[in-house]
Every structure is written in structure tokens, then in C-alpha cells.
Chain A
Amino acid sequence: GEQVEQLPSSLIVQEGASVLINCSYTDSASVYFPWYKQEPGKRLQFIIDIRSNMERKQNQRLTLLFDKKTKHLSLHITATQPGDSAIYFCSASMYTNAYKVIFGKGTHLHVLP
């Protein structure tokens, strides 16, 4: 079945730095890739997504790049703030009779003030 791998597993950066989170998947049937963020003590929250017919999507300080050939995604966060500290989850979604979603293990981002 589909597998999703995220790297790195953790990141510690100084406020203002940019970070890159990488994600790869195995099943070419995956067509939709939402990303979620979980701040300490809070629920998972959707932050950005991309479809397999796109290469790039931007939402404010977040840029998501997608390479269908290599089955690879990367999430770029610029001008990080302490409030960005969270676990970031990549996911890959394929359609059966609804969108079945497989998650990566997450990347722990800690932004130091």
C-alpha cells in the first residue's frame, strides 16, 4: 500500500530562518496532497494542499512544490516565527469511493525566539 516518508523528523531554527520539509510517497495513484499542522495541545489543522496536476502552490509564507515524476513534495516556510512551532504532517490521498489519506510521521519544527 501507499507509504509516505517525511524528512527531517525534527528541526530547530532561529526565528526568521527559512525551513524545508521533504516528503515522498510511493503510490502513483495518489492525486491529492494536503498538509496539516499540529501545535502543542491542539488538533490537527489543514494548512495547504496541492493536486497532482499542479507543480507549485503558495499560501502566504508557505510554498508547496510537487514533482510527480519523482513522487516528491517539499514544503518551504519562510520568515519563521515561534508560533510556527508545531508538528507538520504530509499526506497522500487517493480516491477509492472517498479520498483515502495516508500520513507521514511528521516533522517537529521548533522555532527559537
Chain B
Amino acid sequence: DTTVKQNPRYKLARVGKPVNLICSQTMNHDTMYWYQKKPNQAPKLLLFYYDKILNREADTFEKFQSSRPNNSFCSLYIGSAGLEYSAMYLCASSREREGYAEQFFGPGTRLTVL
């Protein structure tokens, strides 16, 4: 199975409420990524896990949290959603222990904040 799964596929959230998105892969990939994608914009890297090490981008450091309880699962957590968080959230994984490696993407979770 070479697919990355994301749940839920669609999420409605109220301003100020928390949001938790889930990603899973069964390819034993060492790295998992989260991107935010808005229409007509580039996918924006939010954070990534290499094994158990979390790397968060400087400009989104305080806005997003993540956890990776095991190799297969990775979550993205928003503590207090704002209107600007409405976007598609893409999870990806790759096997980088062997060097350069392409990423496998999930279908995305469309988050709408009202």
C-alpha cells in the first residue's frame, strides 16, 4: 500500500475552536510533512517530522503543533482556529534515510473556519 491517508477529508470549525487533523502511512517512511495550500498559491511547508524530531517553520511556529506517536501517524493541531486558517492541508511522507526521495501525498483535508 503506497498511499497516504488523511482524516477527515472535510472539516468545519468555528473561530477560536481547536482543530486536529490526522495523517497515516504504512510505507515505513521516516519523514512526514504538513503543508497548507490556498487557491493559486504554492503549498506552504508548515512542519515536518524526521523520525521523532519535529521541525517547525519559523513563520508558523506558534500557530501549529504536531505529534507523531508512532512511525505511521502524524497529527496537525491548531489550538484556536482563525478565519485565515481556512485552506487545504496536505500531508506527505518520504523515505529519506537512503538519500534523495520524492514525497507521497495524501488527498488533503479541506478546512473551513467560520
Chain A residues within CB distance 8 Å of chain B? 4, 31-32, 34, 36, 42-46, 49, 51, 89, 93, 96-106
Task: Sort chain B's interface into a size bin.
Answer: 20 to 34
Across-interface contacts of B35 in A (CB, < 8 A): 103
Give the dominant DSSP class at A's interface. Answer: strand
> Is A43 in contact with B42, judged by CB distance below 8 angstroms?
no
Q: Given A44-B90, A96-B55, A97-B53 in contact, is the A34-B107 Cβ separation under 8 Å?
A: no
Which residue on chain B has the smallest CB distance to residue A48? B102
Q: Given A43-B108, A46-B104 in contact, is the A98-B42 Cβ separation under 8 Å?
A: no
Q: Given A89-B43, A103-B43, A105-B40 in contact, is the A98-B102 Cβ separation under 8 Å?
A: no
Query: Which of A31, A43, A97, A100 is close to B45, meaning CB atoms less than 8 Å apart?
Result: A100
Separation of A21 and B4 alpha carbons in the complex (Å): 28
Distance from B98 Cβ to chain A, minimum over Cβ atoms (Å) = 12
